[in-house]
Amino acid sequence: MLRIACPYCGERDQVEFAYGGDASEGFPELADSDVGRWTKFVFVRENPRGVHGEYWHHQYGCRQWLRVVRDTVTHQVHSVAPARQGDRT
Amino acid sequence: MTDQPDRLGQGGRIDRSRALSFTFDGRAYAGWSGDTLASALLANGVHLVGRSFKYHRPRGVYAAGVEEPNALVTLRKGGRHEPNVAATTVELFDGLVAESQNRWPSLGLDMLGAIDRLPPVFAAGFYYKTFLGPTRKAWMFYERLIRRTGGMGKPPGQPDPDRYEKAHAFCDVLVVGGGPSGLAAALAAGRDGARVVVVENEPVLGGSLLARPRGGESDAWLAAAIDELAALPNVRVMTRTTAFGAYDNLVFGLAERVNDHLAEPPPYQPRQRYWVLRARRAVLASGMIERPIVFGNNDLPGVMLASAARCYLNRYAALAGRTVVAFTNNDSAYDAAIELAAAGADVSMVDVRRQIPGQLERQARDAGVSLLLGHAVGGANGRRAVDSVDVIEFDAASPSAGAVKSRLPCDLVAVSGGWTPTLHLLAQRGSKPVFDETLAMLVPEVVPEGFRVVGGAAAEEAPLAGLAPERSLATIAPVWAIADPLGARPRKKFVDIQNDVTTDDISLAHLEGYEAVEHLKRYTSQGMGTDQGKTSNLNALAILAGLRDEPRGTVGTTTYRPPYTPVSIGALGGAGTGQHFMPVRRSPIHDWHQGNGAVFTDAGLWQRPWYYPKAGESLDAAYVREAGEVRDGVGMVDVSSLGKIDVQGPDAADFLDRVYVNNWRSLPVGKARYGVMLRADGIVLDDGTTSRISEDHYFMTTTTANAGVVMTQFEFLLQAAWPELKVQVTSVTGQWAGIAVAGPRSRDLLARLVVDLDFDNDAFPFMGVRHGHAGDIPVRLLRISFSGELAYEVYTPADYGEELWRAVHDHGREFGLVVYGTEALGALRIEKGHVAGPEIDGRTTLSDLGLERMASKKKPYLGGALMEREGLTEADRPRLVGLETTDRGTKLRAGAILCQPGRHQGHGIGVVTSVTYSPALGGNIGIGLLAGGMSREGEVIDAVFPLRGEVVAVRVRSPHFVDPEGERLHA
């Protein structure tokens, strides 16, 4: 049961958000037709124990996509930033 | 109604000014306000309250709180019927109706009690070993019989009429437990100004103090504490509330039984409330639960925890027995023994220890308790209740059973094997308690950040400074189970009374290799059920440790999971039941449909008109009529549920080019285009029509089902993937009403209605987009077609929707306009070979759907790369085909498997996705996905539906059954 501090709306309950998956892999260039590159982006995921960068969508709020750094063990949220500004790890 | 034979004339914390009546198994009894059902039954001399889970043995009240394993009853009637409720947790109310469980024909004469005398029936693993053959199906047969003999209360047969609520709360300090240490913690935090929430499971505060004799110094302290807390505005006391779960980040689940203590909730009030509480800190003051020592026939009615006997005496003024044997290995049971003696009972104390603290011994002798030190209860006797115990000499240092030394008559055995701190919430957070050899109990080891454990839960002896300490915990002589006396007939020795798990079951499980605690639990079911082994877990672990010849600390514990006590599904669901479970979405034209005889169907959250039957008309007759009349003349259908997205910005064309597979830059203002979009993995996501309203402004429609998914994907792409694009997307699904007007006469109709537009084929060609007015109503018209006919979609702001519908309907009268629903809509699109949800099913590619020619070769688009991956390009993938039954009158079924004629094995060679009767062809048709696709054109294959044993011969043909050249569209 997370509390996520949306940069636009303030601290809100997890129920307002939808999990959007791993954010560590950057979105490939659309013109990149390399199947391997896209396969890595779509399918290949780390499942780390500990700190994890991930997307969350403030679906029942401002509908902004956020980049959340969360600990998968303690569920502690370390940082929340708009996805558009998030630099990728 | 009877008087209460075992109620003391005075004392107790009951309100003797408020008499209550209740029935148990149809018989009327009296009790007092402040009673539980269990205390009232005991006061009335009712000791037999149920039959056990497997053996149907007689059972009585065993405990005085949530740990009760035995006294499970069914409460109330009808929709409020509630099985498997511990009578010890039920506050008595006037008119309460309770029934015993798992007995037939009656509690006193239970025919299945014979099971108990069939050794070794129902030992651990019995089902698995016994009901094996002769075939695998045998178990299903046996199971039905077994279910009838075993088990608990019956589920309710009617819907629950009560309301439930969910609520959220925040505090600085959550105090779990309203006993002395919890109240002290709450006072300390409250005085500092912290926002405090105190959660107490019972209806009143006081915890263990309530089991002490009334009028002592602790009562004065308690009254003062309650007054002070009530005066602090920053302290909230929640009684009748259980903190049942501890979750991440100091989030707690609370179950508040708002009105369980009444026959039914007052008007507009919930029965229960589920709280999600977020705390900055949590104080665990959840106390301790007593555990028994195991001995033969220790499940007989009349055997109960010593703490329970004391609680019934002091809190409820109910005397659970008059000739009492107390059996203990520690000091705490002496309070019960001494106070029972003072209340007039004849009490013998059997203590396994040869030596006890001198003061304790003096107090006991002064109270007239006869002491049998260095002895143990080797077994109990009695049929429906205990009537005597066999006492043996016992040496805790070398516990081997001796012969029976004496037989003590009794009607109550008050047993204490020590105490177990209640650390469930801590353990749920992953901080398992560890075994302390000195105290012979589980104690907290690592306390998670934000938590503090106080009082009994922390194994502290004195509840408070200034209050007389409870008895010492350290003088315990750990003893878990007493073997059958030498030469005595073997008796069942119950470790888990609720699940009928005996010491023999644990030995057997260990012998068969189930010696890990989690395996033991699953093999024997020890620790399962409504009480989750609150009185049995530690004994089971200790007995297992003995069998493994290991220290008790090394066997570990099973995993603690929420909820601590049973929580009703109703409370967790809150108001989200029935129609409130999911919102219903209705078109702005819904009322008209309803008023004009539409039958509705669910499309996701939407309610859409399915068909409009004339008097006596079936679904089939109605949709065939509706679809036929569209092709012959003109029809109208409500398409307001289609997803609509407004796409605006200088880069809008670029954006559409990226998300659709086809080309968008070339689309001029005033034209619409059909588009298909893919997921990143190359699978088709959705299709729809997008219109260019102006240079930087597009109006997109999506399917009804995928509107939300597409919108979410767009937001992700624009925010996370391509933030450089200057595009704004806005969901406008609810802002527009949409009406499709289809059929050869649609132009004539609309030209009459929208007089400020030129409907000439050249002025308003196929795929044209125009804005005009229907009378005063502003409309956006798209000349697009789902039916394959000359057709228009007419959009207007939602609030004009019904008015526009009526206007079209009125003008349509002279053209013979038919109103049609989604079934006819489907029939028309299948005849035309348009794909929809059944084909765009999240597994199909562009080429599977015959849409590969749409893909642009000049620009990249989302999903384009992975569309080319291995597996998605294999030649034999099932591809879209049309199907017609060779016998026109035979119906085809969606979901049928396509097979080579006569070869009906495996997964076949394809599947039928959509079917209809085609009025245009006068036969049954469908579309489907078939390996080889149109290369099989003309072949006759089988459509097999094994569930109904149907085989239908179908001919493969083009999915474009009607007007394949599109002449009607362009007419």
Residues of B in contact with A59 (CB under 8 A): 712
Domains and CATH numbers, chain A: 3-82 (3.30.2270.10)
Give the SS3 label for residue B833: coil
The CATH number of domain B645-734, selected from 3.40.390.10, 3.30.160.160, 3.30.70.1400, 3.60.150.10? 3.30.70.1400
Pull the structure tokens for residue B277.
């509480």
Q: Chain B residue closest to A42 (CA)?
A: B681
Q: Chain B residue closest to A81 (CA)?
A: B720
Instruction: Give how far A63 is from chain B: nearest CA, Å.
Output: 8
Q: How far apart are CA B265 and CA B853, in angstroms?
A: 65
Q: What is the pLDDT of residues A6-33, one digit of tens each?
A: 999 999 999 999 999 999 888 999 999 9
Task: Tell me what ipTM this predicted complex has.
Answer: 0.96
Residue B145 has pLDDT above 70, yes or no: no
Q: With an 8 Å Cβ cutoff, is B249 touching chain A? A: yes
Q: What is the pLDDT of residues B756-792, one digit of tens each?
A: 999 999 999 999 999 999 999 999 999 999 999 999 9
Q: Looking at residues B882-906, what average pLDDT do you find?
A: 94
Looking at the partner chain, which of B276, B658, B719 has a beta carbon nearest the beta carbon of A1?
B276
Q: What is the pLDDT of residues B690-744, one digit of tens each?
A: 999 999 999 999 999 999 999 999 999 999 999 999 999 999 999 999 999 999 9
Give the SS3 label for residue B789: coil
Q: Chain A: which residues have CB within 8 Å of chain B?
A: 1-3, 13, 18, 20, 23, 27-28, 30-35, 37-39, 41-43, 55, 57, 59, 63-65, 67, 74-76, 82-84, 86
The answer to whether B163 and B84 are in contact (CB under 8 A) is no
Residue B927 has pLDDT above 90, yes or no: yes
Cβ–Cβ of A84/B719 closer than 8 Å?
A: yes
Residues of A in contact with B862 (CB under 8 A): 30
Max distance between CA atoms of chain B, in angstroms, equals: 114
Question: What pLDDT is stored for residue A88 in this prediction?
Answer: 45
For residues B488-498, b (16+ Cβ closer than 10 Å) or e, as one string?
beebbbbbbbb
Residue A89 has pLDDT above 50, yes or no: no
Closest to B252 in 3D by CA, of B284, B294, B205, B290:
B284
Sheet with strand B404-409: strands edge to edge: B375-381, B388-393, B404-409
Residue B138 has pLDDT above 80, yes or no: no
CATH for B586-641+735-827 is: 3.30.1360.120
Closest to A58 in 3D by CA, of A25, A88, A26, A14:
A14
Question: What pLDDT is stored for residue B467 in this prediction?
Answer: 63
- What are the residues whose beta carbons fall under 8 Å from the beta carbon of B877, sequence distance 6 or more? B845, B847, B848, B931
Instruction: Give how far B800 is from chain A: nearest CA, Å.
Output: 28
Q: Looking at residues B100-126, what average pLDDT do you find?
A: 71
Instruction: Give how far B658 is from chain A: nearest CA, Å.
Output: 8
Q: Looking at residues B936-958, what average pLDDT do you find?
A: 96
Give the SS3 label for residue B579: helix
**With the CA atoms of B492, B497, B502 and B506 taken in that order, what torsion angle do they form, in degrees rounded to the nearest 10?**
-170
Domain locations in chain B as residue ranges: 586-641+735-827, 645-734, 874-971
Question: What pLDDT is stored for residue B109 in this prediction?
Answer: 74
Report H helices in B633-728. Answer: 652-659, 707-716
Residues of B in contact with A65 (CB under 8 A): 715-716, 719-720
Residues of B in contact with A2 (CB under 8 A): 248-249
Instruction: Give how far B281 is from chain A: nearest CA, Å.
Output: 15
C-alpha distance across the termini of chain A, in Å: 25
Q: How far apart are CA B474 and CA B171, in angstroms?
A: 36
Q: How far apart are CA B12 and CA B707, in angstroms?
A: 65
What is residue B486's DSSP assignment? B
Residue B151 has pLDDT above 90, yes or no: no
Q: Which helix (H) or strand (E) holds B181?
A: helix B180-191
Q: Looking at residues B409-419, what average pLDDT do you find?
A: 97
Q: How far apart are CA A65 and CA A82, in angstroms?
A: 6
Pairing of strands B643-648, B697-702: antiparallel
Q: With an 8 Å Cβ cutoff, is B227 touching chain A? A: no
Looking at the partner chain, which of A35, A43, A57 has a beta carbon nearest the beta carbon of B865?
A35
Residue type, B752: R
The answer to whether B949 and B923 are in contact (CB under 8 A) is no
Closest to B891 in 3D by CA, of B948, B835, B936, B837:
B948
Q: How far apart are CA B335 and CA B348, in angstroms?
A: 13
Question: What pLDDT is stored for residue B791 in this prediction?
Answer: 97
Q: How far apart are CA B807 and CA B689, in angstroms?
A: 25
Question: What pLDDT is stored for residue B461 in this prediction?
Answer: 79
Q: Looking at residues B4-30, what average pLDDT do you find?
A: 96
Residues of A in contact with B251 (CB under 8 A): 1
Closest to B527 in 3D by CA, of B559, B556, B549:
B559
Backbone phi, then psi, for B335, in 5-degree steps?
-60, -45
| Cβ contacts from A onto B, under 8 A | 70
Residues of A in contact with B681 (CB under 8 A): 42-43
The answer to whether A88 and A24 are in contact (CB under 8 A) is yes
Looking at the partner chain, which of B248, B278, B860 has a beta carbon nearest the beta carbon of A30?
B860
**Residue of B166, B248, B681, B727 to mutate, testing the A interface (most A Cβ within 10 Å of its Cβ):** B248
The answer to whether B959 and B881 are in contact (CB under 8 A) is yes
- CA-angle at B580, arms to B577 and B584, nearest 5°: 140
CATH for B874-971 is: 2.40.30.110
Instruction: Give how far A50 is from chain B: nearest CA, Å.
Output: 14
The answer to whether B66 and B565 are in contact (CB under 8 A) is yes
Q: How far apart are CA B203 and CA B351, in angstroms?
A: 34
Residue type, B669: V
Pull the structure tokens for residue B566.
């049973």
Cβ–Cβ of A37/B865 closer than 8 Å?
A: yes
Q: Chain A residue closest to B654 (CA)?
A: A30
Cβ–Cβ of B251/A83 closer than 8 Å?
A: no
Question: What pLDDT is stored for residue B725 in this prediction?
Answer: 96
Question: What pLDDT is stored for residue A86 in this prediction?
Answer: 47
Strands (E) across B398-523 are located at 404-409, 412-416, 419-421, 434-436, 441-443, 451-453, 494-496, 501-502
Instruction: Give how far A80 is from chain B: nearest CA, Å.
Output: 14
Instruction: Give how far B583 is from chain A: nearest CA, Å.
Output: 14
Looking at the partner chain, which of A1, A42, A64 has a beta carbon nearest the beta carbon of B248?
A1
- What are the residues whose beta carbons fall under 8 Å from the beta carbon of B573, sequence distance 6 or more? B164
Residues of A in contact with B723 (CB under 8 A): 84
Q: What is the pLDDT of residues A58-78, one digit of tens each?
A: 999 999 999 999 999 988 999
Question: What pLDDT is stored for residue B969 in this prediction?
Answer: 87
Question: What pLDDT is stored for residue A87 in this prediction?
Answer: 47
Cβ–Cβ of A30/B862 closer than 8 Å?
A: yes
Q: How far apart are CA B347 and CA B408, in angstroms?
A: 11
Please classify residue B467 by burial: count the beta carbons closer than 10 Å to its beta carbon, then call 0-12 exposed, 13-18 middle and 19+ buried.
middle
Residue B439: other Cβ atoms inside 10 A = 20
Q: Looking at residues B269-281, what average pLDDT do you find?
A: 97
Residue B466 has pLDDT above 80, yes or no: no
Which single residue is written with the structure tokens 């005397």?
B319
Cβ–Cβ of A32/B680 closer than 8 Å?
A: no
